Amino acid sequence: MFKRFLFLLIVLAAAAAGAAFWWLEQPLRLAHDEVEVSIEPGTPVREIVRLWHDAGVDEPPELMYQWFRWSGEAKRIRAGSYLVDKGATPRSLLRKMVVGDEELESVHIIDGWTVKQMRAALAAADGLKPTTAGMTDEQLMAAIGSPDEKAEGRFFPDTYVYSKGVKDILVLKRAHDALERQLQAAWALRAPDTPLKSADEALALASVIEKETGAASDRGKVAAVFSNRLRLGMPLQSDPTVIYGMGAAYDGNIHKADLQTDTPYNSYTRQGLPPTPIALPGRDALRAAVRPDASKALYFVSRGDGTSVFSETLNAHNAAVNQYIRGPHK
């Protein structure tokens, strides 16, 4: 009797093993022709299974989880963006993640770009599926899970590598999440005497700093000027904010009349920070905004070579303007 029972167990185990091996070689049931998932570093195996299931891999999650664990390769799964299409099997899916088999492309988001420029770059990027082209900025922010945020300034400038065929919204979500991490990291380092009241204010100021100077040595000084002005209740008087507020009316030149025409972004006619960021600030601009150089300067003017002259008094500033803007013969 015992031998028969043992034989039955062996037969059942062999049948189960055979069924398991058969399943591993069968095409995955997919809800779509293609399914893509982005896996962040340190993502637990169960979460990876959930991501695939939510994205459209219609296999029992517990079965997929046990396969990943039983294979002994779950800990070797690499972070990245992965795409599977019809014909992929449970075995090939796991192997793709273990070896990091991605069809990689990249897109560069540049410091100081506006959201409009960023979206145009993504629309032209190779291998990126354009799923957000018809969305307004408001719809885009809702789609990435931040419906209460304005889009401007909310994406981190960097180079983003992605699998060929990935939806553009996944890259946008990564850029948005990266900005939030960088912003919170910068805000945690803020100077005790900063006039900024929130991380959102720091983001707005950082965007102005980003547009005002490309010279790394000047960022902290520019930040100091604006911080000093905020403390004193002086208007920022930043040309880039005026240009942003002009929108399509800006023709490449800024005129005295433009400085006097009130818009929500005109920092000559209005005190305080602009109502939203005016561009995508990089890491250095974020850090400068919350921890500027020690300086009493209230003014600066461009030398014309990418750097600026900083002044504590209006008389000194006017002298610098005469030297570098008006010139000795004007």
DSSP for 150-197 reads -STT-S--SEEEEETTEEHHHHHHHHHHHHHHHHHHHHHT--TT----
Residue 12 banded pLDDT, cuts 50, 70, 90: very low
Rounded percentage of the chain residues whose pLDDT exceeds 90: 77
Residue 1: the pLDDT is 53
Residue 60: the pLDDT is 93
Boundaries of every domain in the chain = 24-99, 191-326
Task: Report the distance separating Cα 18 and Cα 199, nearest Å.
Answer: 57
Q: Which residue has the higher pLDDT, 143 or 326?
A: 143
**Residue 15: pLDDT above 50?**
no
Residue 3: the pLDDT is 47
Kindly report the average pLDDT of the chain as a whole number: 90
Residue 127 banded pLDDT, cuts 50, 70, 90: confident
**Residue 268: pLDDT above 50?**
yes
**Residue 102: pLDDT above 80?**
no
* DSSP assignments along 312-327, one per residue: SSHHHHHHHHIIIII-
Query: Rounded to whole angstroms, what are the CA distances from 252 to 68, 207, 243, 244, 247?
Result: 57, 20, 9, 12, 11
Q: What is the pLDDT of residues 21-34, one digit of tens each?
A: 567 899 999 999 99
Q: Indicate the pTM of the whole model.
A: 0.72
Residue 313: the pLDDT is 96
Residue 328 banded pLDDT, cuts 50, 70, 90: low
Determine the topology of domain 24-99 in CATH.
Answer: Dna Ligase; domain 1 (3.30.1490)
**Residue 6: pLDDT above 50?**
no
